Amino acid sequence: MLTLDAIQQSSQISCLLREITSIAIAGLSPKEQRPSNMVGRYLLEAGYTIFPVNPGQKEILGEICYPDIISLPRSVDLINIFRKSTEVPAIIDQVMEMDPLPRAIWMQQGIVNESAAAVARDKGIFVVMDRCIKVDHANLLHR
């Protein structure tokens, strides 16, 4: 049974995914079989501009890869995180240096960090944890 909170969050996520155009993917893997790569490809095919973030790579999915969030060449609407939960606070620290701040932080399925989420929420950033952006996009926007 869906709770009112779950329905409200799904509605907010649906609106967010309709309105954003740019997504930085922290932890995007160059390996095609990895979930982050599959999600990155899906997001590109869905029409989003993606910015791979992986310090060990120069290019992923045909896009220039950046070593960290603060190296991004321009602001982005959403930061999608494919890193361990323990690594999220360092990413959020970098996000807090962005100007303007992104609209949302998305921690992929299996990634939860309540304290980092609280820091982002305190700055007015919408936070999603432990959900797959690809699954939500497909389910909520019927693509």
pLDDT mean values, one per 10 residues, the chain (143 residues): 71 95 98 98 98 98 98 97 98 97 97 98 97 95 72
Q: What's the pLDDT score for residue 137?
A: 96
Which residues touch 82 (CB under 8 Å, ≥6 apart)? 25, 26, 27, 28, 29, 35, 36, 39, 108, 111
pTM: 0.94
Domains of the chain, residue spans: 4-141
Q: What's the pLDDT score for residue 9?
A: 83
Domain spanning 4-141, CATH architecture: 3-Layer(aba) Sandwich (3.40)
Q: CB atoms < 10 A from the CB of 24, how many? A: 25
Strands 104-107 and 78-81: parallel
Which one, of 142, 125, 12, lies nearest residue 77 by Cα? 125
Q: What's the pLDDT score for residue 143?
A: 54
Q: CA–CA separation, 82 vs 29, rounded Å?
A: 9
